[in-house]
Homo-oligomer: A and B are copies of this chain.
């Protein structure tokens, strides 16, 4: 373990797709850095993640969030916490492998230039890859800097943590929207199928949240289809036929990543086939593809709804539990680094108590990077078209509570720093 008394500047960045909670983690990092005058003299924010850092696009966050009395401006931090999307901007840059000495030496020269000794990076799988590579390279050098990852992803697919910051708010948005959509769809007596497409390329965690109503209001989509279970069009048609025996308004939740188990996605029919810089297939149109199939098969009214970006940015409906936990993950990242840790990600462990609570534990980032946690078998029913109560009991605590959104002239107030 490194010398605990390492003193210098800190830098924080946000990376990957934004969420409703990613700024709460940033607020946690800011507050902890302002409070820890023993280790950190100034906190910089990288504009647009590591990409902006390479161009020395830095914002003095200590200056922005410190009151005249030297304390953190909690009112401003609260406003930051309820502002959606990455306040510092984001990037999707994948770092080169650690044998690219030129790249990493350049990076380290920039750290040296600003005497940066603490590096915090808030992001998902791909961002933890950045944390891991940087940590790994630093091990081979004599530049002392502590590197900690703060998890963030609405997808909830990071390994070694009970759940991820950002997931609870997205889940709350999805569960609420499904309740509203089910209500909307209930008004007519004619046969209709409504297909709600939910984000989640490789894992169905977000789609699972569509069914939470079952244990709260008693209302849920008729079926839930996840990427974890190979999709079968004939079984799907059978499911719809069975639902029509019960009521005329069938509501279905389907993950964008629904696939046939043979490498082909349900939404491929209308997709471009492009891949992003991490090599992920870019998907669109799962709901639309099923809409067309159902219309052809049943001839009834069919509507597909893609929940789209609001899933990750509808901060007006964030989960208080999620926002609070995201803040704590950011805060803990700083205290962990101050205590000498590096190459860690802050994970959440659910305590085995009656009432829900978590503890924040630093874990090796090498265990996390580039792995995907999928929905386990016991969370999915035997037919593979619904989630189990066990799944819903796992999700429910994560969506509890509402944040105090400040409205000005009818719109939620946001804090914009770039």
Find chain B residues with CB under 8 A from A316 CB: 176, 180, 317
Contact B400 A177 (CB under 8 A): no
Cβ-based interface call for A401 (8 A): yes
Answer whether residue A213 sits at the interface, using C-beta atoms and an 8 A cutoff: yes
A172 to B414, CA, bound (A): 16
A318-334 toward B: CB 8 Å interface, digit per residue (1/0)?
01000000000000000
Docked Cα-Cα span, A310 to B303, in Å, equals 13
State whether B184 touches A410 (Cβ < 8 A). Answer: no
CB distance from A38 to the nearest CB of B (A): 33
Known contacts: A48-B189, A89-B186, A187-B86. The answer to whether A310 contacts B180 by CB under 8 A is: yes
A390-411 interface bits toward B, Cβ cutoff 8 Å, 1 = contact, 0 = none: 0000001001111000011111
Interface size on A, residues (CB 8 A): 59
Question: With an 8 A cutoff between CB atoms, is A371 at the interface?
Answer: no
User: Does any Cβ of B come within 8 Å of A412's Cβ?
Assistant: yes
A188 with B89: CB separation less than 8 A: yes
Whole-angstrom distance between the alpha carbons of A41 and B85 in the complex?
55
B85→A183 contact, CB < 8 A: yes
* Given contact pairs A91-B189, A314-B177, A85 touches B411 in the complex (Cβ within 8 A): no
Q: Which residues of B contact A308 (CB under 8 A)?
A: 303, 305-306
CB distance from A174 to the nearest CB of B (A): 11
State in angstroms the CA–CA spacing of A316 and B318 once bound together: 12
Q: How far is the CA of A172 from the CA of B316 in the complex (A)?
A: 12
Given A216-B411, A396-B409, A409-B216, check contact A187 B18 (CB 8 Å). yes
Please, which residue of chain B has its CB at the minimum distance from the CB of A310?
A: B177
Cα of A267 to Cα of B276 in the assembled complex, Å: 28
Q: Is A83 an interface residue (CB 8 A)?
A: yes
Chain B residues whose CB sits within 8 angstroms of the CB of A314 once the complex forms: 177, 180
Interface centre among A84, A90, A91, A409 (most CB of B within 10 A): A409
State whether the Cβ of A175 lies closer than 8 Å to any Cβ in chain B.
Answer: yes
- B188 touching A92 by the CB < 8 A rule? yes
Q: List 30 A-B contacts (CB under 8 A).
A: A48-B188, A48-B189, A84-B180, A85-B180, A85-B183, A86-B187, A89-B187, A89-B188, A90-B187, A91-B188, A91-B189, A176-B316, A177-B310, A180-B313, A180-B315, A180-B316, A183-B416, A184-B309, A184-B312, A185-B309, A216-B411, A217-B408, A217-B411, A305-B310, A316-B317, A396-B409, A399-B410, A400-B409, A400-B410, A401-B410
Q: A305-B310, A319-B410, A396-B409 are in contact. List 13 more A-B contacts (CB 8 A).
A: A18-B183, A18-B187, A83-B183, A85-B187, A90-B188, A91-B188, A91-B189, A92-B188, A175-B410, A177-B314, A180-B412, A216-B411, A400-B410
